[in-house]
Structure 1
Amino acid sequence: MSWFIRFNKPFDVLPQFTDRANAGLPRQTLSDFIDLPGVYPAGRLDRDSEGLILLTDNGRLQAQISDPKQKMSKTYWVQVEGIPDTAALIALRNGVELKDGITRPAKARLIEEPDGLWPRTPPIRVRKSIPDCWIELTLREGRNRQVRRMTAAVGHPTLRLIRSRIGNWTIDGLESGSWETLPAPETSPIQGVRKRDRRPKR
């Protein structure tokens, strides 16, 4: 049997099962939440980011999902400092000049705070003199810390970052820190999956 699961990663959890680089205090890893043997993340999500990670023990499927050549879309909810104007949103959509080159065209729009959003631990630092808001940003590339660099480039530093979707898979109905199994895709992972086979969350 091949495992394929979705996991809603909390803030400050390493996107791996071991923490070999840290010689000091232990840090939380995926092993603190997921006890299935032999599964590995298909792609990464920074320690200081939250949201959807897909994991599988199928190496071919893992490579398909994480391969940049597949250009699988990923959607993020981004809480930023300040209120982006039309020019900032257009820049995010058309491409932002970063140190490693201009970004590909993306989808960007202002949204209300997502429904059912869980509290972050610890909370973000809020400055009473500066407002904040949420952006929904959809990319088809995955450079290192790209979303944070993009919002900073248009003058709106990221305060909180949540990945809500990879391809056709979302975190809908999945509490922070919980996971569930899914049917493995029958064709290309970009086409999504059949109806979920829900299992008890740990």
Structure 2
Amino acid sequence: MLEETAPIVAEELNVKSVEFCDDEEELVKRSAKANFKVLGARLGKNMKEAAAKIQTLSGREIGDILAGAPYRLVLADGTAAEITVDDLVVQREEKPGLVAASENGITIALATELTPELEGEGFAREFVSRVQNLRKELNFDVTDRIRVRFEIPADRLAAIDANRAYICEETLALALESGAAANGADVDVNGETCRILVEKA
């Protein structure tokens, strides 16, 4: 069911893709501490030793306990205790390049690495927004086809070229050209000063 809604979720969150995994360990590193309030009453003098052993649980073992599997903890004097999720305080450490949150057994992570491709797409989206604003200021009809001429920093030309089809489709531009735009408007696009000239086609 969730997989079927992935395209909708991706569009609503403005992310490239939504992927699903069965193991939380792919997203976060799990560790656990003893829940002293719960375990203390059961283990008494053995609590300190049990707490030390719980801290050595692997991420996989913690995952099994969270899933409801029984875990038997055997202490030095032969005492055995079955550990359940209520006996643990589970901590999750985000893996590099991810921001994660967990609730009700579900962990969601967002990859935060900005690749040149993603930066270019972000610039293109902002460029489209500025062109659309200029269309409104010029009182163009929403169906009017346009020509766009622009002056932007040289290092941003690749972003426009890579996303040319998207920009033209969103703005109804029949032409999108780099060059002198003396009568254009100076606008800010992602912190870059750009001059954009919009004319009816």
Give me the TM-score of the superposition, normalised by structure 1. 0.27
More helix per residue? 2
Give me the TM-score of the superposition, normalised by structure 2. 0.27
Larger Rg: 2
